[in-house]
Amino acid sequence: MSKDAILGAIRRGLRRGELPEDQKAMLRARMAAPPRHLIPARSRVSRPEQIALFVANIEKEFGSVERIPDLDAVPAAIADYLAAQNQPPRFAMAPNPELQGIDWSSRPMLQFEARKGLPDDVVSLQSAFAAIAETGTLMLPSAPIRPTTLNLLPDVAMVLVRASRIVGAYEEAWDLLRAEQKDALTGGFMPRNVMLVTGPSRSADIEQTLELGAHGPRMLHVLLLDDDPAALAGS
Amino acid sequence: MAGPSQDSPVLATSPQFKENARRAMADPGLQKALTTAKGAFLQRRAAAVGRLPEFERLREIGRDIKNHAIANLDFYLETYATNVERAGGKVHWCSTPDEARAAVLKICRDAGARTVTKGKSMISEELGINDHLERHSIAPIETDLGEYIIQLRKETPSHIIAPAFHLNREDWEESFRQMHTDLPKDRVFHERRDLLTEARSRLRGKFLAADVGITGANFLIAETGSSVIVTNEGNGDLTQTLPRVHIALASIEKCVPTLEDATSLLRLLARSATGQDFSVYTTFSTGVRREGDLDGPQEYHVVLIDGGRSDMIGTEFQDMLRCIRCAACMNHCPVYGATGGHAYGWVYPGPMGAVLTPSLIGVEKSGHLPNASTFCGRCESVCPVKIPLPNLMRHWREREFERHLRPGALRTNLDIWAWFAKRPGLYRAATRLAIGTLGLFGRNKGAFRKLPLAGGWTEGRDLPVPQGGTFMAQYKKRQRAEALRR
């Protein structure tokens, strides 16, 4: 069987047999408590600075950010943004209680459906699980409340990010996932899919020149909900 | 190490490297494309590295992580496979390219597939998957923009992260007009964006119609059983999200222990590759669609390929298994910059290809590649996992020499040189004579445009007329002068 052939060839190359049980136990322990390697200093700063770094990085990567004080401000922010971008006031929204619980009546012009993304969608609204200041990256684990297609199919992807969920480095976001997520199928913490998204889709395949909007969204707009008092202090 | 255990299913023109290179250097279109592209990569990488003061320290960490993973690869692969299966996926262990092609075909047939979308994957090129599927009446559709045009033009990638590195905008326009015949013939492509938009709308429908999506994998994570892809376009994600079946192709050395290990390597990858701090989409796939999920594939297969890697373990070429396919080495290589990727004649070009190709298809077919190096060392200096590429190329040269694969004239000349070099007195006398003669003949010229027996050398450059005696003569003179000063 090829599995045995491959493992056998690896062991021959390493000049040993199967690892003895005590060494396996050490490697299992390394996986159970993964050693954390060097984390760049750039994200180890005060909370307000971390938020500022996140915003600066989103903008550097051709995304846009609007800070809002609370969930009630979401409808107006979306309506104004879509109008300013000449986009239709219609969007597919993640079937997420947090988003569905918003009082949308203040902007009756906005139309939305709570569902997964469809090929002809122009605009979507997603909610991030966490975000990473280090590079302005959104963490979007798949779940019934967070369909992957909403991150990919529309032209304009809008994502709600809570300031309290912005961490400095990727490793801290993995910690949140490990602590908070339980996958029913595996008993572990990884859902089917975790997307780390940094800016809108792009390609430099034509003469190594950057163009936005390859197969995914041409625009990425973050609604940053200022729900973290520590992050607001001094800002 | 024995030779590669299996013939490559992909035709190698590596034995004709010299002719390939000559043709490439005389191709004005290619030279234009190379000139346009080269500088951009270097500047972007340098800027990204400059923004991260810890980069050098991270390179050492990256090297150590990969070394640890390879030293325990059997254990981590078994752990990885167990975790994939726990998440409802299936791992297909394949020793050879043939086994891998058969595994992919069977999955596609079982799925009743007529069309298959593909994300960019170099291992897929190595396996020749597209040809294999086509021969069995399944249509593969490349969706990465660069791979898409390559497929339209029936070419192969000339760069491992920028497949259309060798093409100019005019080539894109020409191919799009030729192949997208249902669109108005007189349409105008004002900007590159128009090309992008046309490809995007062409491919949208294909993503939806495909029965199977095939991607590669930048990393496999043992801890979680995840495969990781890194893209900018989003095509890889559409490929692995929309069809009912997802196949991830991965070679065995992609496996790392934990998310933390992969994360450290990801900090190196995009910076070294495109000069981005992070790629747009870094996606971790773990098994099948979960209960209640509204999207995602219902089947998840990993085709895990050895293809000659395990034979490299325990040899001087083991370090090459650290490679994370960023392409920094070829972006910084003067030889790649002059010839482009196709001249190398197989799947992997540049310095990493010059080391890997002999391991995977045999040095007798690809001995020119490790010789196509100036040993300037830039590749090693930018490698994110510190692979000693020039040293590994040197090992191939030694093996090639030992196996008498070099032409007779070269061996004879080296033997003559060695005979003199072992006799310093004679050697100095001979060089004195040669330099004296050349100096005499060239005293009014400054440089020779042509020299008897050295036509190959002077074809591309002039030989300066020697001045001031041999190295040893100058060295002695200087020593004497210094002794007098003291």
- pLDDT of B4 > 70? The answer is no
Tokens of residue B316, six digits: 């001087």
Distance CA B167, CA B175 (A): 11
Instruction: Write b or e for each residue in A47-73: b if 16 or more Cβ atoms lie within 10 A of its Cβ, otherwise e.
Output: bbbbbebbbebbeebbbbbbbbeebeb
Q: Which residues pair with B76 in a beta bridge?
A: none
B67 part of contact set with chain A, CB < 8 Å: no
User: Helix (H, G, I), strand (E, B), or coil: what is residue A176?
Assistant: helix
Chain region(s) in chain B for CATH 3.40.50.10420: 28-311
Closest residue in chain A to residue B288, using alpha carbons only: A192
Q: Which residues pair with B118 in a beta bridge?
A: B142, B214
Closest residue in chain B to residue A3, using alpha carbons only: B93
Distance CA A148, CA B241 (A): 7
Positive or negative: CA dihedral A187, A141, B289, A102? positive
pTM over 0.90: yes
The pLDDT value recorded for residue B376 is 95
Mean pLDDT, chain B, whole residue set: 92
The alpha-helical segments, DSSP class H, found in A85-228 are 97-100, 149-152, 170-180
Please give the average per-residue pLDDT across B443-469, as a whole number: 76
In chain A, residues with a C-beta closer than 8 Å to the C-beta of B304 are 6
Q: Which residues pair with A194 in a beta bridge?
A: A141, B284
Distance between A157 CA and the closest CA of chain B, angstroms = 13
Q: What are phi and psi of A52, to 5 degrees?
A: -65, -40
Of A111-125, B149-163, B275-289, B398-412, minimum mean pLDDT range = B398-412
Closest CA to B327 of B393, B284, B270: B270
Please give the average per-residue pLDDT across B74-78, as a whole number: 98
Q: What are phi and psi of B171, to 5 degrees?
A: -65, -40
Distance CA B280, CA B234 (A): 8
A44 part of contact set with chain B, CB < 8 Å: no
Q: Do B241 and A152 touch (CB under 8 A)?
A: yes
Positive or negative: CA dihedral B439, B443, B446, B451? negative
- Across the interface, of A183, A193, A204, the residue whose CB is closest to B296 is A193
Closest residue in chain A to residue B99, using alpha carbons only: A2
Distance between A13 CA and the closest CA of chain B, angstroms = 4
Q: What is the dihedral of CA B59, B61, B65, B71, to 10 degrees?
A: 90
Please give the average per-residue pLDDT across B29-51, as a whole number: 91
Q: Do B74 and A171 touch (CB under 8 A)?
A: no
A156-162 vs A219-225, strand pairing mode: parallel
Are B35 and B165 spatial neighbours (Cβ–Cβ below 8 Å)?
Answer: no
ipTM of the complex: 0.97
Q: Do B284 and A190 touch (CB under 8 A)?
A: yes
Burial (CB count <10 Å: 0-12, 13-18, 19+), residue A136: buried
Q: Do B74 and A11 touch (CB under 8 A)?
A: yes
The pLDDT value recorded for residue B482 is 87
A35 part of contact set with chain B, CB < 8 Å: yes
Distance CA B273, CA B378 (A): 15
In chain B, residues with a C-beta closer than 8 Å to the C-beta of A116 are 294-295
Q: What are phi and psi of B265, to 5 degrees?
A: -70, -35
For the ranges B30-39, B48-57, B412-421, B422-431, the one whose mean pLDDT is highest: B48-57
Residue entry with tokens 């430099």: A204
- DSSP per-residue string spanning B25-93: HT-HHHHHHHHHHHHHHHHHHHHHHHT-TTHHHHHHHHHHHHHHHHHTHHHHHHHHHHHHHHTT-EEEE
Q: What is the pLDDT of residues A57-108, one digit of tens each?
A: 999 999 999 999 999 999 999 999 999 999 999 999 999 999 999 999 999 9
Q: Where are the domains of chain A?
A: 1-35, 45-232
In chain B, residues with a C-beta closer than 8 Å to the C-beta of A7 are 74, 77-78
For chain A, state the CA radius of gyration: 21
In chain B, residues with a C-beta closer than 8 Å to the C-beta of A11 are 74
Better-predicted residue by pLDDT, B269 or B472: B269
List the single best residue of A11, A22, A28, A37 to mutate versus B (max B Cβ within 10 A): A37
The pLDDT value recorded for residue B296 is 98
The pLDDT value recorded for residue B1 is 42
Instruction: Write b or e for each residue in B324-361: b if 16 or more Cβ atoms lie within 10 A of its Cβ, otherwise e.
Output: bbbbbbbbbbebbbebbbbbbbbbbbbbbbbbbbbbbb
Tokens of residue A140, six digits: 């979007």
Residue B42 pLDDT class (50, 70, 90 cuts): very high
A172 part of contact set with chain B, CB < 8 Å: no
Q: What is the pLDDT of residues B218-240, one digit of tens each?
A: 999 999 999 999 999 999 999 99
Q: Do A206 and B145 touch (CB under 8 A)?
A: yes
- Across the interface, of B54, B282, B291, the residue whose CB is closest to A184 is B291
Distance CA B320, CA B353 (A): 10
Q: Do B192 and A183 touch (CB under 8 A)?
A: no
| Residue B133, CA distances (Å) to B60, B124, B137, B141, B179 in order | 41, 11, 6, 11, 21
Instruction: Give the other-Cβ count within 10 Å of B79's Cβ.
Output: 22
In chain A, residues with a C-beta closer than 8 Å to the C-beta of B229 are none
- pLDDT of B151 > 90? The answer is yes
B380 part of contact set with chain A, CB < 8 Å: no
Q: Do A192 and B235 touch (CB under 8 A)?
A: no
- The CATH topology of domain A45-232 is Rossmann fold (3.40.50)
- pLDDT of B5 > 60? The answer is no
Distance CA B331, CA B325 (A): 12
Residue entry with tokens 């440089």: B447
Are A139 and A129 spatial neighbours (Cβ–Cβ below 8 Å)?
Answer: yes
Closest CA to A190 of B91, B285, B242: B285
Q: What is the pLDDT of residues B86-104, one digit of tens each?
A: 999 999 999 999 999 999 9
A116 part of contact set with chain B, CB < 8 Å: yes
Q: Which of residues 115-144 of B touch A (CB under 8 A)?
A: 143-144
Q: Do A216 and B280 touch (CB under 8 A)?
A: yes
Q: What is the pLDDT of residues B267-281, one digit of tens each?
A: 999 999 999 999 999
Q: Do A192 and B287 touch (CB under 8 A)?
A: yes
Q: What are phi and psi of A121, to 5 degrees?
A: -60, 135
Residue entry with tokens 């239709």: A88
A185 part of contact set with chain B, CB < 8 Å: yes
Are B243 and A162 spatial neighbours (Cβ–Cβ below 8 Å)?
Answer: no
C-alpha distance across the termini of chain A, in Å: 62
Distance CA B229, CA A194 (A): 11
Q: Is B308 left (phi over 0), alpha (psi -120 to 50) or beta?
A: left
Closest residue in chain A to residue B299, using alpha carbons only: A192
In chain B, residues with a C-beta closer than 8 Å to the C-beta of A34 are 223, 257-261
Residue B2 pLDDT class (50, 70, 90 cuts): very low
In chain B, residues with a C-beta closer than 8 Å to the C-beta of A12 are 310, 314
Please give the average per-residue pLDDT across B172-189, as a whole number: 92
User: Helix (H, G, I), strand (E, B), or coil: what is residue B405?
Assistant: coil
Asked: is B28-311 a CATH 3.40.50.10420 domain? The reply is yes
List chain A pLDDT tens, one digit each, 235 residues. 799 999 999 999 999 999 999 999 999 999 999 999 999 999 999 999 999 999 999 999 999 999 999 999 999 999 999 999 999 999 999 999 999 999 999 999 999 999 999 999 999 999 999 999 999 999 999 999 999 999 999 999 999 999 999 999 999 999 999 999 999 999 999 999 999 999 999 998 898 888 999 999 999 999 999 998 888 765 4
In chain B, residues with a C-beta closer than 8 Å to the C-beta of A190 are 87, 224-226, 284, 286
Of A176-190, B273-287, B358-372, B400-414, minimum mean pLDDT range = B400-414
What residue type is A229 in one-letter code?
P
Q: Do B318 and A13 touch (CB under 8 A)?
A: yes
List the single best residue of A215, A218, A219, A220 to mutate versus B (max B Cβ within 10 A): A215
The pLDDT value recorded for residue A235 is 46
Q: What is the DSSP letter of A41?
A: G
B337 part of contact set with chain A, CB < 8 Å: no
Distance CA B279, CA A150 (A): 19
Distance CA B438, CA B443 (A): 8
- Across the interface, of B76, B196, B294, the residue whose CB is closest to A206 is B196
Burial (CB count <10 Å: 0-12, 13-18, 19+), residue B320: buried
Residue entry with tokens 């900018």: B232
Q: What is the DSSP letter of A116?
A: -
- Across the interface, of A31, A187, A215, the residue whose CB is closest to B223 is A31
Closest residue in chain A to residue B313, using alpha carbons only: A13
Closest CA to A129 of A83, A102, A166: A166
| A to B CB pairs, distance under 8 Å | 284
